[in-house]
Amino acid sequence: MSVSEKGASPIAGRQQLSPSANAKIVSVEACTVRAPLDHPTSFATREVLWRDYGLVRLRTDDGAEGIGFCYGGSAAGGLVARAVRDLFAPLLIGESPYRVEGLWQAMYDEALLHGRAGSVMRALSIIDIALWDRNARAAGLPLWKYLGNFHGRRVPAYASGGYYLDGKSPEDLGAELKGYVSLGFKAVKMKVGRLDPAGEEARIKAARGAIGDDVLLMLDANNAWSDLPTALRYMERYEPYDPYWIEEPFSPDDIDNHARLAQRTRVPVATGEIEAGRWRFKELLERQAAAVLQADAAVCGGITEFKRIAATAASYGVTLCPHWFHDLHIHLVAATPNARFVEFFVDDQVLNFRNLIDAQLEYENGDLLLPNRPGLGFNFVSASIDKWAVDAWS
């Protein structure tokens, strides 16, 4: 697949300026975009009609810029932009963009009374991403190279899909996943947990039959279960089809049941996509509640905190497979020794963030090819943002 680019970007032009080692931050702007899905799409616990994205752009006095972004949910996504504007931006004006660790701590301390997770931490995360992006662009390097490449010029990916749609049969699901395999992917993921055990087994059986025995099959329950007996009843149905992992079986706060399930099933437990801060991940590790951590840099505290989480997990011999936003996490997986897979969406039917940016990743034989453009390797498309903006840049 080839890179797709949509028009000229104002950021791309400004990056031709000579960056200054003494640069100071002069503006931090945020906006909210509500991007509709083409079709109502469901997973175990709810239906999604649109996605709210929180966006940030940060500029320094030498003309260099960086961008950040996160998923703000399907309601009240503007809370992220408000936290950027009201809570964090005033702390950053006049500061050096290279003081990333110090600015992270200043923002975290300022947020103590407002929230160390959720929308406030997502706001901190996307500012942190923008700082790293700005600094990599100023250095003229792709972010993966600026962070310190480990995995070479490509990283493994799994094709993520298998959502519930009205009228979608188990055979339709199998055909969808087989389509990903035909594109070269050696690992695929599907949703589970919405139907009764027999209904879910029919879906998984069709999926395994369609993709064959040699393709990895990940299962994502999206917090579907509230007690261990229910989870075990489903897992007894799933285990014969050799799942690679069971993702988010319980509420993210129910670490006890994650640990109990991990002890009772041979299927590795994966979780962490909604977690924020290294301390919660350390608790998951200490209690052996997950064999795979799915930290999302746009949720957990940005690239700075993702690096800390990865280093902590490495001490426990635990792998990271970050959640969502392949355009961001390709860089982090490439630079993280104990990271394995990027979660990849081949089209815009679920992760429609791709409609807001001007370049798409290339893939080949189940791997994503690392981009060569500076920083994150893409810019926002102004026309798309203007079309779906809930609030303007400010």
Which residue numbers are catalytic? 191, 323
Residue 239 and residue 267 in contact, taking contact as beta carbons nearer than 8 Å: yes
Which tokens hold the place of 234?
Answer: 């489903």
Residue 125 and residue 70 in contact, taking contact as beta carbons nearer than 8 Å: yes
Distance CA 133, CA 138 (A): 9
Residue 326 and residue 345 in contact, taking contact as beta carbons nearer than 8 Å: yes
Tell me the residue type at 172. D
Tell me the residue type at 305. E
Residue 158 and residue 344 in contact, taking contact as beta carbons nearer than 8 Å: yes
Coil, helix or strand for 380? Answer: strand
Instruction: Give the bridge partners for 344, in sequence order.
Output: 159
Coil, helix or strand for 27? Answer: strand
Distance CA 58, CA 44 (A): 37
Count of beta carbons in the 10 Å neighbourhood of residue 157? 27
Q: In the chain, which ranges are continuous DSSP H helix?
A: 10-14, 78-83, 89-92, 100-110, 118-139, 143-147, 170-182, 197-211, 228-238, 255-264, 278-286, 302-315, 326-334, 382-388
Residue 318 and residue 295 in contact, taking contact as beta carbons nearer than 8 Å: no
Distance CA 96, CA 391 (A): 28
Residue 80 and residue 54 in contact, taking contact as beta carbons nearer than 8 Å: yes
SS (H, E, C) 45-77: CCEEEEEEEEEEEEEECCCCEEEEEEECCCCCC
